[in-house]
Amino acid sequence: MSNMSSSSTESLDDSLKKLKIKSKLLYQTNLMPDVAFKKEIERSPFKVFKCIADLGYYGWHPKGPYKILTDVTASDIKQNIDIEMKPPLAESVEDLNEKLPKYFASLSPQEYQHKYPYNQPYITPLYVSVKHKGVKIQDINFLFGGSVLEVFANKYIPSGKSYVATVIQGTDIILVAKDDEYIKNYSDDGFQFERLVTGKKIEDIHDPSTLTHLQLMEVSGFCVLFAAEVDAMDDNGKPIEITKSNPRWWGTRIVFQMLSNGSGTLYSGVNIHGQLMSVQQRSLSSAIHYALRYKSCSKLEENISECMQMLKKSLQNKKIKEGLFLEISFDGSGLVLNSLENKNQGLLPPKHVIDQLFL
């Protein structure tokens, strides 16, 4: 009898805590969740994702030469931000299919290294959220990029990829992000497809500017600021995810990307032997049901919750701390944090730069 009473009390406490998180943030930001996106999540089997507030978009215009973040100033970061920028408008699936089939083009490379200024530092979405969207920095528990949920849910990091965790200087916010440098080639078929969807020619020169969508979500009882790149938007200004990959190989990657960037709609291209045959449209809830047909939703949610709780405990135990980047891996017991010999220089600028941004 006493165990049942204790369990009920804990459940009630947890519910009240979550309600306070949501109501406090909504009051402070005067922003609401996107209703259509919220309904798509509610139509899915997922229970751990609760929309708090849609914070909109911002653009990033890369300017100047490549730099390591230790050489980047607060002024450098601010001048690359475009608060008013919106994603390109996607054409309707009907209009796109009238143009097909179409072969992808063989184009000269349009390459950029995925490093500053063509890779924005992760302090940027936090700066925009606090300074331009009205979010209180102390209310955020985590800052995630687009692929973190996929890693946590499956407790798996692809070969050659690296994910790190740290605490953003001057805050209690745990940043978890992919840490890698690579060559991005805007002549690749995937970017050709994006240009076609947004009304451009597939052979056009690609604008290296990027659009980020910001949203606050409650995930397993924690407040997460999601900052993820968006490919396009619909007539109502809502994010659309674009992919030309075969649905057979999606797994859960696409749906966690959509959850992260706030996309309620997916455009997928049917590509056969280098020829784009058609474009299909799915809702987020439909994509989730498709991705979970061979997966246990409850297990994925359990994995996400365990990873976040472990990181929060590591913060309380001071294993995760300012200025220290820890590499994430997984073993039989779950998430493991490993020390890195070289401090990361690709995710956050020095503390004095962060202090200047938030003055």
Contact yes or no for 239/262 (Cβ under 8 A): yes
- pLDDT value for 7: 40
User: What are the CA-CA distances from residue 298 to residues 153, 254, 303 (Å)?
Assistant: 10, 18, 9
Cβ neighbours, 10 Å, residue 174: 22
Give a yes or no: residue 266 inside a domain.
Answer: yes
Give a yes or no: residue 140 inside a domain.
Answer: yes
Q: Rounded to an integer, what distance in angstroms lies between the CA atom of residue 206 and that of residue 229?
A: 15
Give a yes or no: residue 93 inside a domain.
Answer: yes
pLDDT over 80 at 22, yes or no: no
Give a yes or no: residue 70 inside a domain.
Answer: yes
Phi, psi of 255 (to 5 degrees): -70, -35
List, for residues 126-156, the tens digit of each pLDDT value.
Answer: 999 999 999 999 999 999 988 999 999 999 9
Number of H helices, E strands in the chain: 11, 16
The residue that leads in pLDDT, 248 or 35, is: 35
317-332 average pLDDT score: 92
Contact yes or no for 311/321 (Cβ under 8 A): no
* H or E element at residue 277: strand 275-283
- pLDDT value for 349: 95
- pLDDT value for 343: 59
| Structural domain boundaries, residue 52 | 32-357
pLDDT over 80 at 18, yes or no: no
Give a yes or no: residue 27 inside a domain.
Answer: no
Half-sphere exposure of residue 356, counting CA atoms within 13 Å on the CB side?
12
Those residues whose C-beta lies under 8 Å from the C-beta of residue 52, and which sit 6 or more positions away, are 21, 22, 25, 26, 33, 215, 216, 217, 218, 223
pLDDT over 50 at 167, yes or no: yes
Name the pLDDT band for 12 (thresholds 50, 70, 90).
very low
Give a yes or no: residue 284 inside a domain.
Answer: yes
Give a yes or no: residue 14 inside a domain.
Answer: no
Name the pLDDT band for 339 (thresholds 50, 70, 90).
confident
Name the pLDDT band for 30 (thresholds 50, 70, 90).
low
Q: Rounded to an integer, what distance in angstroms lies between the CA atom of residue 51 and that of residue 219?
A: 9
Number of domains within the chain: 1
Name the pLDDT band for 6 (thresholds 50, 70, 90).
very low
User: What are the CA-CA distances from residue 110 to residues 24, 184, 186, 357 (Å)?
Assistant: 46, 8, 5, 32
277-292 average pLDDT score: 96
Cis peptide before 109 (omega within 30 of 0): no
- pLDDT value for 73: 97
Q: How many Å separate Cα 25 from the centre of its chain?
A: 20
- pLDDT value for 49: 97
List, for residues 174-203, the tens digit of each pLDDT value.
Answer: 999 998 889 999 999 999 999 999 999 999
- pLDDT value for 4: 37
Give a yes or no: residue 23 inside a domain.
Answer: no
List, for residues 68-105, the tens digit of each pLDDT value.
Answer: 999 999 999 999 999 999 999 999 999 999 999 999 99
User: What are the CA-CA distances from residue 246 to residues 254, 269, 280, 285 (Å)?
Assistant: 11, 8, 11, 18
Name the pLDDT band for 17 (thresholds 50, 70, 90).
low
Q: How many Å separate Cα 333 from the centre of its chain?
A: 26
- Tokens for 157, please give them: 């990091």
Sheet of 232-233, strands arranged across:
102-103, 275-283, 265-272, 239-243, 232-233
- pLDDT value for 344: 61
